[in-house]
C-alpha cells in the first residue's frame, strides 16, 4: 500500500498477474463497508499469445529528503512507477513500465467522490484504462536484448531513471530520465528555444 493525499491510499491486488488494476481506499468515515473509493484497470493489450506477467514491482517518487542533483522533491508532482516483467515462450522476457503521476490518481479520486452514489452491495464499477490511463500516464515497452536486471529503478519526485543495456555489449548501458511534471517539460522547451535564439544571434 502507498499513501496518497490524506486520507487516501493506493493498493495493488495480490493477484495482479491475473487481473492488473489498482484499488484506492479512504481512511475517512464512509458508508462503504470496506472504504473502497474506486478501481482503476490497467491496459489489457500488453500481453501477447502465450505470455503472462511473472513479476511486478511498484515504487513511488515520494521523497522528503532534499536532492543535491537533478531530481526534485515536489510531492504534488511525484510519479508512481509500476514495472511488469512479462514472460513468453522459450523463456523470453520483456518489460512494460507505467509512469503514473500522483495527480492522475488524485483526479480519479475527485471524480469518484463527486459521482458517489449508493450501489447495491456497496460496490463500485471499475474504471477502464481508456477512461483514466491512456491520456493520464506514460506507458513504455522498452526493448531489452538481455534479460538482466542490473539495478532497481526507483523514481525520485517526478523523475524516473530507466537503464537501457547496449544491444551489442550488455556491460554497457545508458540512463534515460523521464519526467512527468508538465512544468518541467515547459521550462525545458523554453530553455531550448532561448539557447537556439542566442545561437542564431551570435556573430
Model pLDDT for residues 165-191, shown as the tens digit of each residue: 777 777 788 888 888 877 777 777 777
What's the whole-number average pLDDT of the chain? Answer: 79
Q: pTM of the predicted model, to two decimals?
A: 0.77
How many other β-carbons are positioned within 10 Å of the β-carbon of residue 78? 22
pLDDT reported for residue 30: 64
- Cell numbers standing for residue 26: 479512504
Q: Tell me the C-alpha distance between 130 and 119, whole Å.
A: 23
Q: What is the pLDDT of residues 75-128, one digit of tens each?
A: 667 899 998 888 888 777 788 889 999 999 999 999 988 887 544 444 578 999
The 3-state DSSP class for residue 49 equals coil
Taking residue 16's Cβ as centre, other Cβ atoms within 10 Å add up to: 16
Asked if the model's pLDDT at residue 38 lies above 60, the reply is yes
pLDDT value for 108:
93
pLDDT at 194 over 60: yes
| Mean pLDDT value across residues 30-49 | 80
Amino acid at each position: 500500500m502507498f499513501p496518497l493525499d490524506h486520507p487516501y491510499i493506493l493498493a495493488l491486488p495480490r493477484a495482479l498477474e491475473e487481473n492488473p488494476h489498482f484499488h484506492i481506499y479512504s481512511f475517512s468515515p464512509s458508508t462503504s463497508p470496506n472504504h473502497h473509493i474506486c478501481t482503476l484497470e490497467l491496459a489489457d493489450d500488453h500481453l501477447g499469445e502465450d505470455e503472462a506477467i511473472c513479476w511486478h514491482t511498484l515504487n513511488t517518487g515520494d521523497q522528503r529528503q532534499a536532492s543535491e542533483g537533478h531530481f526534485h522533491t515536489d510531492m504534488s508532482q511525484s510519479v508512481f512507477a509500476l514495472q511488469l516483467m512479462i514472460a513468453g515462450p522459450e523463456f523470453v522476457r520483456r518489460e512494460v513500465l507505467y509512469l503514473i503521476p500522483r495527480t492522475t490518481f488524485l483526479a480519479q479520486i475527485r471524480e469518484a467522490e463527486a459521482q458517489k452514489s449508493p450501489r447495491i452491495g456497496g460496490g463500485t464499477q471499475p474504471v477502464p484504462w481508456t477512461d483514466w490511463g491512456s491520456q493520464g500516464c506514460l506507458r513504455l515497452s522498452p526493448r531489452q536484448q538481455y534479460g538482466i536486471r542490473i539495478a532497481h529503478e526507483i523514481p525520485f519526485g517526478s523523475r524516473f531513471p530507466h537503464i537501457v543495456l547496449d544491444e551489442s555489449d550488455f556491460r554497457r548501458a545508458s540512463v534515460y530520465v523521464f519526467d512527468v511534471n508538465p512544468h518541467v517539460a515547459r521550462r525545458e522547451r523554453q530553455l531550448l528555444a532561448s539557447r537556439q535564439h542566442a545561437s542564431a544571434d551570435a556573430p
